[in-house]
Structure 1
Amino acid sequence: MTDNLHRLAKGKIKDQIVASCAIRSDVISNLPINVTEAILMKLPTRDAVRTSILSRRWRFIWTKLPQFIFDEAMWSQLEVEHSVHITVTMILYQLLSSHEGPMSKFTLSVPGLDSCPEIDNLILFLSRNHVEDFTLEMWEDEYLLPSSIFKCQELRHLKLWSCRIRTPPLFKGFCRLTSLRLIDVTISAEALRHLISSSPLLELLELTSIICIDLYIDSTNLRTFRFHGFTNSMIFKRVPLLASVSILQEDESTGTIDFKGVGCNLAKFFDCFTFLEYLHLNYQIIQSLAVVDLQTTLVHLKHLKLSSICFNKMVEVSFILSLLRSSPNLKSIKIKFRDAPFSDSKKTTTYMEGQDYSDIHLSRLTQVKLDCFTGTKPEMEFTRLLLAKSSRLERLRIKPGKVVLDNGCKILKEVTKFRRLSKEAEVIYVG
């Protein structure tokens, strides 16, 4: 009797589990198509494709998804039996032959990927399917973009890595493009100029590891500009909304940049940046600009970052002091120092000690970071200046360079003796 009850109970529990699973299965199967697509959009591409085994209804839903991200994360999850070329070719073939509807976003970034005809077919496919966000990162070869890329007139975001770009003669630009990122790309100065100026909605322009002999920026809607490469000349013509600027000349280059040109000359370089809020420069750029004092008050500048700065160099120190005088609303300063052979430390120290700092007001400065700090006399004098002029300073962090780690206690002891205008100022020595 007892055994029968146990069997009956187990049978009822099993029936309840089956019924519950059936209800859940029905719930999943009967979800509206927009809900199922929204669910798949939240999943990694590999998992979205794998949902095809859930049911007959779910089998082909992934083929209608408007985005496909084939990146390093997805590649690491695949059980690859063939070479990168063969595997990518197979996946792209299956995708292009199965997909239905628009493809608004596509990312192809696989380690070891080199050019193949399937990528040309992919770009042609995207040009016919309303792509808005396209990322292509090549690794091995410098891939020549096919002309079909210039037919993607609904593009809003474009990121290209290790490609060659040749704009066709009749190309009139991307009328909807808002962000353009070019990394290790080969493109002529004329083609780049045309690409920028003919994209009227462009807000973000990033040029990394790029060589462009003459760089010409004419973009009335541009808000963010980042450059890290090599150029002989740089001209800003119409950039009234530009708020974030990062210009880093490659370390290998020894010459200065010529900023002279139409609408902008050396003495009025910052006149182009009416609403500048963030500025990042390295010492090569400072050497190009420091010949003439600033003529503009940068009332909107809030964040200043300087890389590879040597405070034993007169030309760099004079420029930075001039920049502080012209930036009364700075909130944060980050400087990474560097050593320089044949420097004029004594001359720089004498210059700084003889300065009248009454016209420097840092009443809004709250955060300061000084990296690779070596403890030279000019660096210490600059630290003293920041503490004495910053009434709202909250934190000054010093991170030493490798050559002065043993003298850290001596540097910290001296810095803590400096007068602080802010009672809340905290000095932190990392190391």
Structure 2
Amino acid sequence: MRMAESSTRKVGRTHIEEDRISVLPRNVHETILCFMPIRDAVRTSILARNWRNCWTTIPNLVFDEDILSEKSRYIGRSRGLELAALNFVSVISNVLLLHNGPILRFSLCFPGFCDAKIILDCFGQWIPLFSSKGIKQLYLEGLKNVWLPYTPAFGGLTFLKEIVLTDVSTSEQNVFNCPVLEKLILFCCEGLLPINFRAPNLKYLRQMYTKMPSDYSLAGLENIIEFSCMVACDREMPSETSNVVKVFGCLNKIEKITISTYFIAYLAAGGSPNKFPHPLHYLKTLTFTDIHLTRVSEVSCLLCMIRSAPNLSKLHILVDWLRKDAGEGNLNNYWVNVSEDCTIDQLEIVTICNLKGQRTELDLIKYLLARSPLLKTMYINYSTSVLKKDAAAAMTKEMLQYSKTSSGTQIIHLKQIPFELYY
């Protein structure tokens, strides 16, 4: 009898424990499913009655090759790209057909073993559905060597607030008509901006190019408040006019700018004036990643932007460690000849990382300390080569001498480069 009672208690306890998740509110079920791959989320429909249709209302849908069974993936690799693509879009179409709630985010990663054109054809047919379900975020990844058509269909994404595209290109104009689009991220998308976007309310723009396009422009995107751009490969592009003024001169509302690697060289082409014709009054945070402080053109570009931002409060600089060093010879007299007598009135925080022990680095630090009356903290990080040579102590000693001219400024040493300085 005792054994029977004990067994009954165990069974009862196990039954209660198994039902704890099932009896949770439906919105909690949906939250749980949002963290699961869509294939596993659909499978929960067989768990219990409470779970049967729960997956049909999750607002975030993410599709990649994992939605296909191992058998389907094998068939695709062995029998051709077209069959794999048909299997892929068939699964997605079935999910969309059974989905009953709003779709706020749709993410699609094109498998490498599928015919991307077939998937793209079906994607064009899904767009009206996305619009009717109030889509806010769209992620497309892996559209290599595919040109986006469907101007009318894409023109219907009037609810879209965020777009992320990777390896996408187009030959059409006015492909994206997004009147409420606020965030746009483009990775290796040649020729998409600005002619293929009507986005008057765009506020956040992030780009990465393999090579800098010759016709780069931000015309028509005057409402941007945050901007970042990186170029992976060097490409000499002589310019008769100042690129830095051409790119940023129209961004009257810009608050945060991040400039990285070869995009710095592009901006520096054509020379840089002391200041922009019209100040960037709203610019508060400026980041230069991988800048060569031994190149007059890049240093002049940096100072031009600093002087053009009267309300700049945060300045972050990561000294270049990848590109070939240009040498210090062309900067021996540069700082002596910098005659612009200006103050950086609102600057409070400066971060300079990967210092290599060069004279030009100390000259920049001296310049900032001497012209920043409200500077509170300067964060310094030395490269490994400087630490090995034990040259950091000498640099620090000289910085402390400079800091006497900027009362109240604290110099703090960082062992690691802050995450925000990486693109």
**Shared fold (TM-score, shorter chain, > 0.5):** yes
Question: How many residues are treated as equivalent by the alignment?
Answer: 391
Which residue is equivalent to 1:4? Answer: none
Q: 222-231 or 386-395, which moves further after superposition? A: 386-395
Within the candidate set 211, 217, 221, 1:235 is matched to 217
Post-superposition CA distance 1:6-28 (Å, at most 9, x none): xx333223323334455566676
Within the candidate set 35, 44, 47, 1:51 is matched to 44
Which 4+ residue blocks in structure 1 deviate beyond 6 angstroms? 78-81, 86-89, 257-260, 339-342
**How many angstroms apart in 2 are the aligned matches of 1:351 and 1:376?**
14
Which residue is equivalent to 2:119? Answer: 119
Residue 114 of structure 2: SS of its match in structure 1?
coil
**How many angstroms apart in 1 are the aligned matches of 2:30 and 2:192?**
47
Within the candidate set 185, 203, 208, 1:206 is matched to 185
**How many angstroms apart in 2 are the aligned matches of 1:234 and 1:91?**
36
- Whether the aligned pair in 2 keeps the contact of 1:369 and 1:398 (CA below 8 Å) is yes
Residue 233 of structure 2: SS of its match in structure 1?
coil
The aligned runs of 1:31-46 (5 Å cut-off) are: 33=26, 36-46=29-39
**How many angstroms apart in 2 are the aligned matches of 1:298 and 1:69?**
39
**How many angstroms apart in 1 are the aligned matches of 2:25 and 2:412?**
58
Post-superposition CA distance 1:367-393 (Å, at most 9, x none): 41323x332221221122234444433
Identity of aligned residues (%): 21
- Whether the aligned pair in 1 keeps the contact of 2:57 and 2:99 (CA below 8 Å) is yes
Within the candidate set 4, 13, 20, 2:6 is matched to 13
Which residue is equivalent to 1:100? Answer: 98
The normalised TM-score by structure 1 is: 0.74
Which residue is equivalent to 2:364? Answer: 382
Counterpart of 2:269, as a letter, is S
Higher relative contact order (CA 8 A, sep 6+): 2
Matched, 1:428 2:407: no
Which residue is equivalent to 2:396? Answer: 415
**How many angstroms apart in 2 are the aligned matches of 1:279 and 1:121?**
37
- Whether the aligned pair in 1 keeps the contact of 2:159 and 2:178 (CA below 8 Å) is yes
**How many angstroms apart in 1 are the aligned matches of 2:375 and 2:325?**
37
**How many angstroms apart in 2 are the aligned matches of 1:331 and 1:398?**
16
Does the C-alpha gap of structure 1 residues 170 and 107 become closer, same or farther in structure 2, counting only changes over 3 Å?
closer
- Please provide the CA RMSD for this pair: 3.9
The aligned runs of 1:150-169 (5 Å cut-off) are: 154-163=134-143, 164-168=146-150
Which residue is equivalent to 1:62? Answer: 55
Which residue is equivalent to 1:141? Answer: none
**What runs of 5+ residues in structure 1 fail to find an aligned partner?**
1-7, 133-151
- Whether the aligned pair in 2 keeps the contact of 1:153 and 1:176 (CA below 8 Å) is no
Matched, 1:85 2:85: no
**How many angstroms apart in 2 are the aligned matches of 1:213 and 1:24?**
54
Matched, 1:284 2:265: yes
Counterpart of 2:42, as a letter, is V
Within the candidate set 177, 195, 200, 1:220 is matched to 200
Post-superposition CA distance 1:113-159 (Å, at most 9, x none): 4326873576367446x336xxxxxxxxxxxxxxxxxxx89443222
**How many angstroms apart in 1 are the aligned matches of 2:248 and 2:296?**
21
Does the C-alpha gap of structure 1 residues 120 and 46 become closer, same or farther in structure 2, counting only changes over 3 Å?
same
Does the C-alpha gap of structure 1 residues 85 and 389 become closer, same or farther in structure 2, counting only changes over 3 Å?
farther
Does the C-alpha gap of structure 1 residues 206 and 422 become closer, same or farther in structure 2, counting only changes over 3 Å?
farther
Matched, 1:270 2:252: no
TM-fit CA distance, 1:242: 1.1
Q: 178-187 or 290-299, which moves further after superposition? A: 290-299
**How many angstroms apart in 2 are the aligned matches of 1:213 and 1:398?**
38
Which residue is equivalent to 2:382? Answer: 399
TM-fit CA distance, 1:405: 5.5
Post-superposition CA distance 1:31-75 (Å, at most 9, x none): 665554444334443543343342355345435545432458x68
**How many angstroms apart in 2 are the aligned matches of 1:333 and 1:254?**
26
- Whether the aligned pair in 2 keeps the contact of 1:248 and 1:285 (CA below 8 Å) is no
Counterpart of 1:273, as a letter, is L
**How many angstroms apart in 2 are the aligned matches of 1:75 and 1:426?**
53
Post-superposition CA distance 1:312-358 (Å, at most 9, x none): 22222222222222224231322332587694734423120232464
Does the C-alpha gap of structure 1 residues 131 and 214 become closer, same or farther in structure 2, counting only changes over 3 Å?
closer
Does the C-alpha gap of structure 1 residues 310 and 179 become closer, same or farther in structure 2, counting only changes over 3 Å?
same
Does the C-alpha gap of structure 1 residues 384 and 32 become closer, same or farther in structure 2, counting only changes over 3 Å?
closer
**How many angstroms apart in 1 are the aligned matches of 2:325 and 2:12?**
83
Does the C-alpha gap of structure 1 residues 80 and 382 become closer, same or farther in structure 2, counting only changes over 3 Å?
farther
Which residue is equivalent to 2:81? Answer: none
Does the C-alpha gap of structure 1 residues 255 and 417 become closer, same or farther in structure 2, counting only changes over 3 Å?
same
TM-fit CA distance, 1:255: 0.9
The normalised TM-score by structure 2 is: 0.75
**What runs of 5+ residues in structure 2 fail to find an aligned partner?**
78-83, 417-423
Within the candidate set 351, 369, 379, 2:352 is matched to 369
Matched, 1:336 2:319: yes
Residue 234 of structure 2: SS of its match in structure 1?
coil
Counterpart of 2:221, as a letter, is V
Counterpart of 2:147, as a letter, is I
